[in-house]
Amino acid sequence: MAAGLQRFTDIAGEGGPRLDAASGEELLRVDRAASVALGRRAPEPPGTLFVTNRRVIWLSETEKGQGYAVDFLAITLHAVSRDPEAYPSPCIYTQIDAQDGSDEEAGGSDSEANGELQLAKISEMRIILSDPGQLDALFDVFCHCAELNPDPNAGKYVNHISYLKKSSSTSLVLS
């Protein structure tokens, strides 16, 4: 599986992310004045969100050279969230494949050590756009990118489950 959330500092001369054009990475969407909230932390000050056909990249507007990136292979779930009880702002909610001992499992304390954010342990990211009316369009791009980047292990599990169902009369419960 792809590495989870990572720091991103590979910034091109014009201030956007340097893309891996040799491997076919293409920019699909840009949203300015977008914030990200990592785990249970408060949202970062607004920055620019770049969505490519391979990853999601957020670059800070206030702290030049600071940013985060996550490959679509590491995003295990994405959804539009508009429920104020779940989160105060409408957003794209994502779950990220994180190292064991993620921020939620440890009550939020394991994602920081000595005041330093441990990105590999962040298992949730929320993307808050300045125009919430654009969330559905961003969600559609996420869906498209998820189709472009299927889980390479998905077929293995489906085939294994099918075999179990065919060879056993007992129920299979996945947890």
Tell me whether residue 116 is exposed, middle or buried, using C-beta atoms within 10 angstroms of its C-beta: 0 to 12, 13 to 18, 19 or more.
exposed
Contact by Cβ (8 Å): 65, 11? yes
Task: Enter the pTM of the model.
Answer: 0.81
Specify if 157 maps to a domain. Answer: no
- Total domains in the fold of the chain: 1
Share of the chain above pLDDT 70, in %: 77
Specify if 72 maps to a domain. Answer: yes
Task: Summarize pLDDT for 3-39 with one digit per residue, the tens.
Answer: 899 999 999 988 899 999 999 999 999 999 999 999 9
Specify if 171 maps to a domain. Answer: no
DSSP state letters, 91-157: EEEEEE---SS-TTTTTTSTTEETTEE-GGG--EEEEE-SSGGGHHHHHHHHHHHHHHS--TTHHHH
Q: Domain span at residue 38?
A: 5-101+114-148
Query: From CA 161, how far away is CA 171, in angstroms rounded?
Result: 11
Contact by Cβ (8 Å): 68, 8? yes
Specify if 108 maps to a domain. Answer: no
One-letter amino acid at 162 equals S
Specify if 26 maps to a domain. Answer: yes
Query: From CA 149, how far away is CA 173, in angstroms rounded?
Result: 27
Query: From CA 72, how far away is CA 83, in angstroms rounded?
Result: 24
Show the tokens assigned to 118. Answer: 């441990």
Task: Summarize pLDDT for 106-131 with one digit per residue, the tens.
Answer: 444 445 554 567 898 999 999 999 99
* CATH (domain of 123): 2.30.29.30
Specify if 159 maps to a domain. Answer: no
